[in-house]
Amino acid sequence: MAKAGIHPAYSAAQVTCACGQTYTMASTRGNFAVDICSACHPFYTGKQKLLDTAGRIERFQKKYGRETSK
């Protein structure tokens, strides 16, 4: 159904994360490394923290006349 000779060749590739986790997937690039993956990303591991060290949220709420949550 697809035209011959115009599509890139997909082959199995090893994707290696900086944490040591490896994944096998199809790619046109070949093997490559990534800095962060779902095994070590704070959003997926549940270790994400929202820090407001500069008081930006309170400053925004004060500027636009909203009450701060307690």
pTM equals 0.53
Q: Which amino acid is at 66?
A: R
pLDDT per residue over 28-68, tens digit each?
Answer: 989 999 988 888 887 777 776 666 667 777 888 888 886 65
Q: Where are the beta strands (DSSP E) in the chain?
A: 11-17, 22-27, 32-34
Q: What pLDDT was estimated at residue 53?
A: 64
- Is 11-63 a CATH 3.20.20.70 domain? no
Domains of the chain, residue spans: 11-63
3-state secondary structure of 61: helix
Q: What pLDDT was estimated at residue 14?
A: 95
pLDDT per residue over 11-27, tens digit each?
Answer: 999 999 989 999 999 99
